[in-house]
Amino acid sequence: MKPLKILFADDDLKYSMLLKRFLEKEGYEVTYAGNGLIALEQFPLVKPDLVLLDVNMPGCNGFEVAERIRETDKHVLIFFLSDRSDKADRLQGFQLRANDYLAKPFYPEELIARIRERFDAQLTDTIEEETYRFGQSVFNYSTNEIRTGNNKVLITSRQADILRLLARHLNLAVERDTLLATVWGTSSYANSLALNVQITYLRKALRNDPAVKIESLMKKGYVLKG
């Protein structure tokens, strides 16, 4: 099996070299870029499976790099690695269809665990396409797509994980703790707030289908109706 190719952009050279060596010891092929402009130049050459982006970089910050990448590639995985961990920055990262956002400092082992989780899920998806139908829509978990007639909406992997669980229990209540444990692994206050935000985005993604809605159950959870 070919090694996973990672494009890693961060202007902190000393920190980056330590993390790069750690990733390479795990068998990953890592290309380092010292700033966002170099990352954009390297992206079409490297054709990475995963892009790791620091947010605070001179010239072109991580958010700008992600936005440019998403203009041409909707599926490559993007993780933000940043010391900017407030709510607004996290929301901006996920609005750019990032797949994960790790706040610095973090343990390298945590990053490895998240990478493995994502790519193990991708390998599973390639074996058997996983789709769900509700209302007039078809949700393809394998590609993160929601199709309603001629309309197609692409959602983030996090949103896809949430919608998948709701779709598996169509017209049935799914408790908040179940969603948090399944999608985030923990029911912390920060993750609970993140769930509220992701539900809002999912409702927008489903607005093309008037027969489908996500209802909130006071202090309990959500139900996908369709």
pLDDT of residue 3: 82
pLDDT of residue 90: 73
Percent of the chain with pLDDT over 90: 50
pLDDT of residue 85: 63
pLDDT of residue 208: 92
**Residue whose tokens read 């995963």:** 50
Is the pLDDT score of 151 beyond 80?
A: yes
Is the pLDDT score of 14 beyond 50?
A: yes
Provide CB contacts within 8 A for 4, sequence distance 6+: 27, 28, 29, 49, 50, 115, 119
How far is 94 from 156, CA to CA, in rounded Å?
A: 7
Is the pLDDT score of 138 beyond 90?
A: yes
| Per-residue pLDDT tens digits for 181-200 | 888 877 787 888 889 999 99
Q: How large is the average pLDDT for residues 102-131?
A: 75
Cis, bond preceding 105 (omega within 30 deg of 0): yes
Q: List beta partners, residue 55.
A: none
CB 170 within 8 A of CB 224: yes
Mean pLDDT score of the chain, rounded to an integer?
87
How far is 93 from 62, CA to CA, in rounded Å?
A: 9
Q: How large is the average pLDDT for residues 89-93?
A: 73
Q: Looking at residue 150, what DSSP letter applies? A: T
Provide CB contacts within 8 A for 98, sequence distance 6+: 66, 78, 79, 80, 156
Please indicate, yes or no, whether the overall pTM of this predicted structure exceeds 0.75.
no
CB 64 within 8 A of CB 91: no
Q: Which domains does the chain have, with CATH numbers?
A: 5-126 (3.40.50.2300), 129-225 (1.10.10.10)
How far is 109 from 122, CA to CA, in rounded Å?
A: 20
Is the pLDDT score of 127 beyond 50?
A: no
Q: Is 100 helix (H, G, I), strand (E, B) or coil?
A: strand
Please, which pLDDT band fits residue 34 given cuts at 50, 70 and 90?
Answer: very high
Provide CB contacts within 8 A for 3, sequence distance 6+: 27, 28, 29
Q: At what angle do helices 189-205 and 87-95 cross, to 10 degrees?
A: 30
Helix ranges (DSSP H) in 81-211 = 87-95, 108-127, 157-168, 176-183, 189-205
